[in-house]
Chains A and B, each alone.
Chain A
Amino acid sequence: GAGVSQSPSNKVTEKGKDVELRCDPISGHTALYWYRQSLGQGLEFLIYFQGNSAPDKSGLPSDRFSAERTGGSVSTLTIQRTQQEDSAVYLCASSLRNTIYFGEGSWLTVV
């Protein structure tokens, strides 16, 4: 379909390893967001990209987290030296105007 695509769907990693999560937004959507949701919790904003503007990184919880968006399209969220508290579902979303659409998420488990 033409929705937001995320990969991998599930990732189990050992504590201390780095992980990369990928997001392919809906074609033509200029805004891209990353959120994190721990089990039973609300959505936590991480980072926001809008066109060619500098991203809003105000939600990144630590300097182990970084994200980039290449060519105004695909985005990669990188978590370095993963910790157990990083276990969550990482949701990517995109929008053209005000309405945002989510991907199915990348479920990360750090063991």
Chain B
Amino acid sequence: RKEVEQDPGPFNVPEGATVAFNCTYSNSASQSFFWYRQDCRKEPKLLMSVYSSGNEDGRFTAQLNRASQYISLLIRDSKLSDSATYLCVVPSGGSYIPTFGRGTSLIVHP
């Protein structure tokens, strides 16, 4: 099993739709998780951290399921500007070296 796995998509959704992505990880000792957003030909930018209790930031909700070893990102009321690749990040190794998933591509269309 790869350290971090994501469905590459693309997820093609209309404006206003709700869409969810999952990311599975293999290192059960991982403590800190993040979602990053990457626009085409740009650097990844932090979207949100993922806390054990789950967290919400506006239209975005991130959750952690330790038992099944996955994190999720839910986007409500999708906007055209949400079109991007969403990367999950899981720390790995003895030192803190974040491992990035390959990303899930989201395309929001009118």
Question: Beyond A43-B87, A98-B32, is A56–B97 a contact (Cβ under 8 Å)?
Answer: yes
Is A101 a contact of B100 with CB atoms below 8 Å? no
Say whether A25 faces chain B, with CB atoms less than 8 Å apart. no
Say whether A50 faces chain B, with CB atoms less than 8 Å apart. yes
B-contact 0/1 string along A47-58, CB 8 Å cutoff? 010100000100
**Chain A residues positioned under 8 Å from B46 (CB to CB):** 99-101
Is A102 a contact of B43 with CB atoms below 8 Å? yes
Is B45 a contact of A102 with CB atoms below 8 Å? yes
| Complex Cα gap A91–B44 (Å) | 9
Say whether B79 faces chain A, with CB atoms less than 8 Å apart. no
When the two chains form the complex, which single residue of A41, A43, A56, A98 contacts B44, counting CB atoms closer than 8 Å?
A: A43
Least CB distance from B62 to A in Å reads 14
- Which residues between 74 and 111 of chain A lie within 8 Å of chain B, taking CB atoms? 91, 95, 98-105
B interface size (C-beta, 8 A): 21
| Complex Cα gap A105–B44 (Å) | 10
Is A91 a contact of B93 with CB atoms below 8 Å? no
Is A31 a contact of B44 with CB atoms below 8 Å? no
Is A50 a contact of B43 with CB atoms below 8 Å? no
Say whether B102 faces chain A, with CB atoms less than 8 Å apart. yes
Is B43 a contact of A105 with CB atoms below 8 Å? yes
Query: In the complex, what residue of chain A is closest to B31 when comparing beta carbons?
Result: A98
| Complex Cα gap A42–B5 (Å) | 11
| Complex Cα gap A2–B26 (Å) | 35
Say whether B49 faces chain A, with CB atoms less than 8 Å apart. yes
- Which residues between 57 and 110 of chain B lie within 8 Å of chain A, taking CB atoms? 87, 89, 91, 93, 95-103
Residues of A within 8 A of B (CB): 31, 33, 35, 41-43, 45, 48, 50, 56, 91, 95, 98-105
Residues of B within 8 A of A (CB): 32, 34, 42-46, 49, 87, 89, 91, 93, 95-103
